Amino acid sequence: MTKGMLAGRIALITGASRGIGAAVAKLFAAEGAQVVLIGRSVGGLEEVDDAIRAAGHPGATLLPLDLADGDKIDQLGYALAERFGRLDVLVMNAGALGGFSPVGHQKPKIFEKLVAVNFMAPWRLIRACDPLLRASDAGRVIATVGGPGTATPEHFTGPYAASKAALLSLMQTYALENAKTKLRVNCVDPGTVATRLRAEGFPGEDAAALATPESVAPLYLDLARADCHRNGEILRA
């Protein structure tokens, strides 16, 4: 039998084709979880799966999906129910930055995409997976928050910061609603990490001086464990 902190657990991870999501997927698999990975890049998901298999763990279930497609997310719950019957861990890590510009200059299409990916997609995932998480003996929901302009206001970060603030509020509300259930809902603020998203916003930054995705992945593991009793909290790197 596979041993580890997440042995026998089923974990769905978004934004899993690279960066923090990929690091979390590899760590969860190493701890015995059966991981279901969502990302837009088929090649990226396959690389993560190859790395998991190369480390001697069972392969992942790969779901190439654009989280801006709300209808596809709605269908996800049925597919997971049919295959697994439950979901133990939901990690909502995918995010979009959309560049920087003054609030009054933002293009509607970019603003709407950021809201769709950073806020609406997590809400749809919660809506689709809530019955499956309640079928678990210890359902765990984790969202990645933080980033430019979210802790304190920063110039030109309006859509990203607003969508992430909305996500945090949604998670805290969901946590309150489940305070007396077996479900636990928390967030991770990974800080400044060397990811493609970070490089998109700060292309001249020295990535070697930043934290690695692997260094922050244990925060997600702490919140995913069945014996974690935190609820409505933010773990910061």
Long-range contacts of 50-57 (CB under 8 A, 24+ apart): 51/22, 51/26, 52/25, 52/26, 55/26, 55/29, 55/30, 57/2, 57/29, 57/30
Helix (H) or strand (E) segment spanning residue 44: helix 42-54
**SS3 category, 179:** coil
Sequence-separated (6 or more) residues with CB below 8 Å from residue 130: none
Beta-strand ranges (E) seen in the chain are: 10-14, 34-39, 61-64, 89-92, 140-144, 184-189, 234-236
What is the enclosing helix (H) or strand (E) of 75?
Answer: helix 70-83
Give the number of other Cβ atoms within 10 Å of residue 43's Cβ: 9
| Positions marked active-site | 160
How many other β-carbons are positioned within 10 Å of the β-carbon of residue 100? 17
Residue type, 117: V
